[in-house]
Amino acid sequence: MNGLESVKNLIIQTVKEKTGDFDGDGLEADYKLNWKDELSEMLELVLFNMSKAASARERGDDVVLQAALMHSCIHLMNLSGFFRDIRDDLEALLLGPGWPEIPDGFSYGNTKRGLLKGDGFI
């Protein structure tokens, strides 16, 4: 996997395989966008506002500092929503039909954090 566009394409193909169709309009994430560009733009806005906050703090300008931090919060919330939408689509896909039962004792391999049954995911 070499980037967000690969992730997006994997999701689209998996939805098609499991449901027989892909209707991006019925999902949370926007599959018409270029996710790499979207993420880059959101991160750029966060960094721009945090840079303004740093400059304002150095000048002792609490009004600009407060405004820049508020704008940073908004852009970070958008960034969070971007990933939450992808996660919500993955969860809906996993809870849909077409999946085998995960057998008892199944090992995913060397992972730092388990995400299978019993770990609060499914």
Domain ranges of the chain: 17-95
The pLDDT, as a whole number, for residue 36 is: 95
Q: What DSSP element (H or E) covers 16?
A: helix 4-19
pTM above 0.85, yes or no: no
- SS3 of 51, please? helix
pLDDT at position 105 is 84
**pLDDT at site 1:** 62
pLDDT tens-digit map of 52-68: 999 999 999 999 999 99
Q: How much is the pLDDT for 110?
A: 63
Enumerate residue ranges in the chain where pLDDT < 50: 119, 122
Closest CA to 29 of 73, 70, 90, 75: 90
User: Which pLDDT score is estimated for 122?
Assistant: 47
Backbone angles phi, psi at 106, to 5 degrees: -60, 135
Q: What is the pLDDT of residue 108?
A: 75
| pLDDT reported for residue 79 | 96
Contact 70, 45 (CB under 8 A): no
